[in-house]
Structure 1
Amino acid sequence: MTVQDPTTGRTRFVVVPASYVFLLRETGDGDPAGTEVLLQLRRNTGFMDGHWAAAAAGHVERGETAEAAARREALEEIAVTDLDLTFATAMQRTARGLPIDERIDFFFTARSWSGEPRIVEPVKCADLRWFPLSGLPEPVVPHEAVVLAGLRSGDLPGLTHHGF
């Protein structure tokens, strides 16, 4: 999507910001291979339906911080609050050929929260399940799979890119 800059008259692209929350838990043995992530199965959203994705994610609204958006989305989508958010990475990505093709995504993890995660929007979410980071389901939303791989290996950089 592009807009015309009223000051210069030049056309500029619009960057769409979004926040993602990966809830993580340990299976009990302390081994990094024992880390599980909560994923949702997308449906009826018009984007990557039939793919597994972060349990909570969505656009950052005007005047909202990325962290506030993450907390709001977690409440709206899986009914959890009081997330102990840890910043994981920012991803600059593009999806050539789509109407909106420049994005900045803020990924957070949370290892503690209040409430039992549940599906709040069944029209958009077909399933909600815990998976080992070492054994993710197929298919996972591609740009999210990049982040999950970095979380699994422990070498996720602070800035990532996808689609360039």
Structure 2
Amino acid sequence: MTGAAHGRFVVVPAAYVFLLRGAEAHTEVLLQYRQNTGYMDDHWAAAAAGHVERGETAYDAARREALEEIGVTDIALEFVTSMQRTRGGEPIDERIDFFFTARAWSGEPRILEETKAAELRWCRLDDLPDPVVPHERAVLDAVRTGTTTAYSTFGF
């Protein structure tokens, strides 16, 4: 019997990678412009992100997504926050998102899933494009202000 049959929610895990570059006052983040995904299309989002697969750690998922989506390897991941997320009481699966930053990697980031991303762009943390996926924007704002915490929530 599934969790839904018991009236419990199902937690869906995902990993996000924000590549960063530049000095602290002028830090830039690499974002992708989403298209044709069915979720948050026409929004700016992490250059690499996706579901954590069965038997995979969030770190492994972040490395895999960075390779699959933007072609970078040897990524030096730094854990930022875990975010428990919902959509204000809507009957959807609850989410647990694991956010990482990286300032070192091998390879030049490029779009590898051309049907899902229209553009990659380096953007200053203090001048992000509009719109950014709202829960990702919350994390980027916390990274910019140095106010990240190990655990955060969104949508409750």
TM-score, normalised to structure 2, is 0.95
Task: Name the amino acid aligned to 1:16.
Answer: V
Gap runs ≥5 in structure 1: 5-9
Bigger radius of gyration: 1
Structure 2 counterpart SS, 1:70: helix
Farther-moved stretch of structure 1 (137-146 vs 94-103): 94-103
Once the two structures are superposed, the pairs formed by residues 71-110 of structure 1 within 5 Å of their partners are: 71-96=63-88, 100-110=92-102
Instruction: Report 1:129-140 matches (<5 A).
Output: 129-140=121-132
1:129 and 1:25 map into 2 onto residues whose CA distance is: 12
| Displacement of 1:48 | 0.5
| Residue of structure 1 equivalent to 2:50 | 58
Distance in 1 between residues matched to 2:17 and 2:104, nearest whole Å: 12
Q: Distance in 1 between matches of 2:14 and 2:29?
A: 19
- Deviation (angstroms), 1:100: 3.3
CA–CA separation in structure 1 for the residues paired with 2:91 and 2:18: 27
1:156 aligns with 2:152: no
Question: Which aligned segments of 4 or more residues in structure 1 are displaced greater than 4 angstroms?
Answer: 96-99
TM-superposed CA distance for 1:11, in Å, is 2.5
1:2-151 counterparts in 2 under 5 A? 2-4=3-5, 10-26=6-22, 30=23, 32-96=24-88, 100-151=92-143
Superposition RMSD in Å: 1.5
1:1-44 CA-to-partner distances (Å, cap 9, x unmatched) read: 9523xxxxx32110000000000001xxx3x2210000000000
1:95 and 1:101 in contact (8 A); partners too = no
Number of aligned pairs? 155
Q: Identity, % of aligned pairs?
A: 67
Query: Residue type of the partner of 1:94?
Result: T
- TM-score, normalising length from structure 1? 0.90
1 CA distance for matches of 2:155 and 2:88? Answer: 8
Q: Distance in 1 between matches of 2:18 and 2:38?
A: 21
Cα-to-partner distance string for 1:61-115 (whole Å, 9 max, x where unaligned) = 0000000000000000000000000000000000247663300000000000000
Deviations 1:92-146 (CA, angstroms, capped at 9, x unpaired)? 0002476633000000000000000000001000100100111100000000000
Aligned residues of 1:36 and 1:131 also touching (Cα < 8 A): yes
